[in-house]
Amino acid sequence: MLEFIQLLNQRYQTILSQPGNEVSKIGYQQRIDQLILAEAFMRKGRLINSSPEQPLQMTIVGPTQAGKSSLVNVLLNSRVAGVSPLAGYTIHPQGFCHGVSFADCSGLQRYFGRFQQFQQAHIPKDRHDCYSLTETGADSPHLPHGVLWDTPDFDSIDSATYREGVIRAIALADIIILVVSKEKYADQSVWDIMSALEDLHQPTVICLNKLSEGSEALLIQSLKEKWQLARKDDFPEVVSLYYQKQTGLPFWPETKQTLLIHLASKVDLKKHVRLEQDLLQKHWKTWLEPVIAEHQTLNDWDKLVDEAIKQALVNYQRDYLNHPHHYETFQQALAELLTLLEIPGLAGILTGARKVLTWPVRQMMKLGRKRLHIADSSQEIVLLNQIAEHLLIQLADRLMDNAEQDNQRQWWKEFSSLLRRQRKAILQDFSTAAKNYHVSFQQDVEKTAQRLYHKLQEQPMVLNSLRATRVTTDAAAIALTLHMGGIGVHDLIFAPAMLTVTSLLTESAIGSYMHKVEHELKQHQHNTVKQALFVEIIGQSLLALPEQLSTMTHFNISPDQLKAAEFQLTEKRHGLRLL
Ligand SMILES: Nc1nc2c(ncn2[C@@H]2O[C@H](COP(=O)(O)OP(=O)(O)OP(=O)(O)O)[C@@H](O)[C@H]2O)c(=O)[nH]1
Ligand SMILES: [Mg+2]
């Protein structure tokens, strides 16, 4: 699940970073933040699992210049955190150990993942994927033992660049200390964050900093209202901080001495697994919305391809299989049959045309060459290529229509140009496959001829009368000419002798058998063309096209990937611990 959330996050970020795409930038940025938070919260779950004795993690958050770093110093009673009047001064999560050692914190690096740990003094200013951890000798009466985290702000102009660090430090927290000043407490950014944090159920305290005498009660009331607008849980305890001239730091009031220690006792890590699951479930639909829209579009595409193939097969039937002037395959079977009949006197006729003639005629032209010649002269292949071309033109039109009307405009537009680029290659593959089909289908044609020949042998009367007829000799001569490469297969259909032999056979005792065989041949041919050409070549290449869409502009998360993730999400018994 963690990997899936990472993948989703990465795709959101890539898509958002592409100029000119038609996505809602604010909506996407919000989801990215939610995904980063969810990922970090899941990492926290792993940390709890692998090191249940983790020191307590306390995170100070707040807008820039609220006094977060100053508060770190107050709570640790030292000067470990850098304080400055420059907005956005702290830009990394900085952890300070209080009463715990580095060794106690060994799980942190795994939690932070690709964020690298540095010593506070050496943390690079030009990198945002890092944090520092510092052992302090501090011994503060206000603060429970654990790690106190100073964090960057989330509201300054530059904060977008180090926002992930803030979110990671927040999700790590067992306790949240929100610091606001009277100037900043009403900012939307503060309450957006506090609202997002509600699902993490961390015990929280609010520190109201930079107070001036007399304003406290009014500010607290206003804070409470803000809180209640943002969240449903109880308004937390507020600590009012007044400035101390001598130290230049705010002053932690005597009355709140044990507040943080008390808060620490409310931390309940056992709930973490359920909270993780609730968090994922809460956002799942929104996060996956564009992925599902893509799947819907893919479905629409599959349907378009399916319809186009069905239409192509209807055309193939109409223009070839059932077309009286175009269908040549059965005629070809009859031509094969004629070469099996061993017509007397035929050799004589043909010697005039060719010097050397051996019997049986099948040997006259090598089998492979003969089949190739037949395929080369076939109208069926020409027609199939036309049907394929027509199919792609129709599809391109539909894509253009969708690119104008559908809500997935971007997808259809890119897809349209992808198809345009691939069109030639698909047609080329189709043409090669059509020829291969035709060459190998001749085996079936020859088998059909054999079946008819055997049937004729059961009917010596028909066989003998056929052999004795002059027109059979003429037709056989034509058949042989075809087999020698003298004419093309389409010439058979219009050869009068062939037509006469066909009607002779149709009216003979094997007439109905012949119809049956012709019907079976057509059926088999239809199925072969459908499978070998339209399903395996056209269908497969068209259905595989979406894989080539750029992951720069599309999620390209497959329905199977999504299904696997959703299974993990709803798998109650083992929960997310498994993942
Ligand atoms: N007047 C007054 N100034 C304060 C108080 N607390 C902090 N400051 C000053 O406010 C400025 C900002 O304090 P920081 O603690 O650096 O604030 P921060 O929230 O860490 O700010 P960033 O790191 O920029 O996000 C510094 O100049 C502090 O000296 C206070 O209670 N009263
Ligand atoms: Mg700071």
Question: Is the minimum distance from the CB of 210 to ligand 1 under 6 angstroms?
Answer: yes
Q: What is the chain's mean pLDDT, rounded? A: 90
Question: Is the minimum distance from the CB of 69 to ligand 1 under 6 angstroms?
Answer: yes
Q: Which residue in 303, 329, 332, 298 sits closest to 316, CA to CA?
A: 329
Protein residue closest via CA to atom 27 of ligand 1: 85
Question: Is the minimum distance from the CB of 211 to ligand 1 under 6 angstroms?
Answer: no
Question: Would you state the pLDDT for residue 548?
Answer: 86
Question: Is the minimum distance from the CB of 74 to ligand 1 under 6 angstroms?
Answer: no
Q: Which ligand is nearest to the CA of 209?
A: 1
Question: Is the minimum distance from the CB of 83 to ligand 1 under 6 angstroms?
Answer: yes
pLDDT value at 106 more than 50: yes
pLDDT value at 277 more than 60: yes
What are the start-end ranges of the H helices in 176-264? 188-197, 216-230, 259-264
Question: Is the minimum distance from the CB of 90 to ligand 1 under 6 angstroms?
Answer: yes
Question: Would you state the pLDDT for residue 286?
Answer: 95
Contact status, residue 430 vs residue 388, Cβ threshold 8 Å: yes
Q: Which ligand is nearest to the CA of 156?
A: 1
Protein residue closest via CA to atom 1 of ligand 1: 210
Residue 415 to residue 403: CA distance in whole angstroms: 9
For the ranges 180-184, 418-422, 548-552, the maximum mean pLDDT occurs at 418-422
pLDDT in tens, 297-310: 999 999 999 999 99
Structure tokens at 316: 């193939």
pLDDT value at 343 more than 90: no
Question: Is the minimum distance from the CB of 156 to ligand 1 under 6 angstroms?
Answer: no
pLDDT in tens, 198-218: 999 999 999 999 888 778 889
Question: Is the minimum distance from the CB of 88 to ligand 1 under 6 angstroms?
Answer: yes
Whole-number Å distance, alpha carbon 151 to ligand 2 midpoint, is 7
**Structural domains of the chain, ranges and CATH numbers in brackets:** 54-272 (3.40.50.300), 305-568 (no CATH)
Protein residue closest via CA to atom 32 of ligand 1: 210
Which ligand 1 atom lies nearest to the CA of residue 152? 25
Question: Would you state the pLDDT for residue 381?
Answer: 95
Whole-number Å distance, alpha carbon 148 to ligand 1 midpoint, is 17
Question: Would you state the pLDDT for residue 288?
Answer: 97
pLDDT more than 70, % of the chain: 94
Confidence at 162, pLDDT banded by 50, 70, 90? very high
Question: How many C-beta atoms surround the C-beta of residue 467 within 10 A?
Answer: 17
Overall average pLDDT of the 113-134 stretch:
95
Question: Is the minimum distance from the CB of 59 to ligand 1 under 6 angstroms?
Answer: no
Protein residue closest via CA to atom 5 of ligand 1: 210
Question: Would you state the pLDDT for residue 338?
Answer: 87
pLDDT value at 428 more than 70: yes
Contact status, residue 172 vs residue 44, Cβ threshold 8 Å: yes
Q: Which residue in 150, 153, 234 sits closest to 187, CA to CA?
A: 153
Which ligand 1 atom lies nearest to the CA of residue 87? 24
Overall average pLDDT of the 51-78 stretch:
94
pLDDT in tens, 540-574: 999 999 888 877 788 989 999 999 999 988 875 44
Contacts 24+ apart (CB under 8 A), 514-518: 514/452, 517/333, 517/448, 517/451, 517/452, 518/330, 518/333
Structure tokens at 383: 């027609």
pLDDT in tens, 124-160: 999 999 999 999 988 888 899 999 999 999 999 899 9
What are the strands, taking DSSP E only, across 186-313? 204-209, 237-240, 242-244, 249-251
Overall average pLDDT of the 97-117 stretch:
94
Question: Is the minimum distance from the CB of 182 to ligand 1 under 6 angstroms?
Answer: no
Protein residue closest via CA to atom 6 of ligand 1: 67
Of residues 478 and 205, the one with the higher pLDDT is 205
